[in-house]
Amino acid sequence: MIDDVRAAADAAVARLAEVAVLAEAQALETELLGKKGPFAEFKTRLGGLATVDEKKAVGQAVNEATQRVAAAVQARVAELKRAERAVQLEAERIDLTEVLSRPSRGHAHIVTQAWQRLEDVFVGLGFQVAEGPEVETDWYNFEALNMPPDHPARSMHDTFYVDHGTPGSTVLRTHTSPVQIRVMQRVAPPIYMIMPGRVFRNETTDATHLAVFHQIEGLVIDRGITLADLAGTIESFTKAFFGEGFSSRLRPSYFPFTEPSAEFDIRTPKGDWLELGGCGMVPPTVLRAGGLDPEEWSGFAFGFGIDRMAKERHAVGDVREMYTNDIRFVEQF
């Protein structure tokens, strides 16, 4: 019978080793060590043994077997609990390393940065910001700005026409100056306004020319405004935008919608002169087109290219580089 007891213990331990689920191990504990289990049965059979020595020897074997099986149950249950906990932890794990592998953030394009900085500087000088439509009528883009049909200055603006209304009546604006007229019509003076935006010219592109580019227009209308105010504003802007080491100059030029007209250049700390844009005093014809009385109001306007400013500021060799969408180029700024 002692051999039977030991064999039963071996079988119990072997079964426990095969169990893979915690609940099954707990059920097996009841089956093996409970009142109806094999070792309980061995105990009941002790009474039927012939001698006291036999009872003692078999009893001891049953106790040892019970203890061995109980220890095996305990070890297996603990092992399976650990395994189940590990599975649960894995399932509920929050992967904090995600924060580190987040895709890198982009940033504003070099031209957008220049646009935003220009706005900041002019707002700092007391200007407000307005925008106008990119698809414009011939009247706003040309006629109201002193360029009637057949005016020779129109040939300087190679125009994209839009197939809308009377042929030739709708254009993609060739400059931001039409927004001057829209602002004068809508805003009561005094006006201190800048008007940034996209413009279009049917031109062959090269290192300094694009067919789609950006300008920023400025318009000041108040009482008693003179050319000295224009020169002072351009000088303050130059220092605020480029730095104290820079200065500006006005050079006589011609635009149909300003009189007198000038190009304005900036002088770099190295002494080079860069042409930035055009400017001048707003003539009575243009003030009237905007619905203002030239006897009461006077003013000046200026306009320059944002893309060329970004190009100069960052020493980009070719303005077309900024629109190749090459991430290696864009990332540098």
User: Residue numbers of the site for ligand FA5 (CB under 6 A)?
Assistant: 175, 177, 201, 203, 209-210, 213, 215, 217, 255, 258, 277-280, 301-305, 307-308
Q: What DSSP line would sit under 90-149, residue for residue? A: HHH---GGGGTTPPPP----HHHHHHHHHHHHHHHTT-EE----SEEEHHHHTGGGT--T
* C-alpha closest to that of 331 among 312, 314, 309, 308: 314
Nearer to ligand FA5, 57 or 153 (CB): 153
Spatial separation of the C-alpha atoms in residues 84 and 88, rounded to whole Å: 6
For 332, the token pair is 């540098």
Q: Cβ contacts of residue 140 below 8 Å, gap of 6+?
A: 132, 173, 178, 181, 182
Q: Cβ contacts of residue 265 below 8 Å, gap of 6+?
A: 248, 249, 251, 273, 274, 275, 276
Q: How far is CA 312 from CA 267, 315, 317, in A?
A: 12, 5, 9
